[in-house]
Amino acid sequence: MIRHLKVSRSLAELRFRELQRQTIHDAITTARLEEVKHRLATTHDTIEQISTDCGWQSANSFKNLFKRRFGISMRDYRNHSRTP
Residue 60, pLDDT score? 87
| CATH code where residue 15 lies | 1.10.10.60
Q: What was the pLDDT predicted at 2?
A: 66
Distance from chain centroid for Cα 71? 15
How many distinct structural domains can be found in the chain?
Answer: 1
pTM for this structure? 0.79
Residues 14-45 have pLDDT tens digits of: 988 999 899 999 999 999 999 999 999 999 99
Mean pLDDT of 58-81: 92
Flag whether pLDDT at 82 surpasses 90: no
Rounded Cα gap, residues 49 and 18, in angstroms: 35
HSE-CB at 70 with a 13 A cutoff on CA atoms is 18
Residue 83 has pLDDT above 80, yes or no: no
Which range marks the domain in which residue 58 is found? 2-81
| Residues counted in the chain | 84
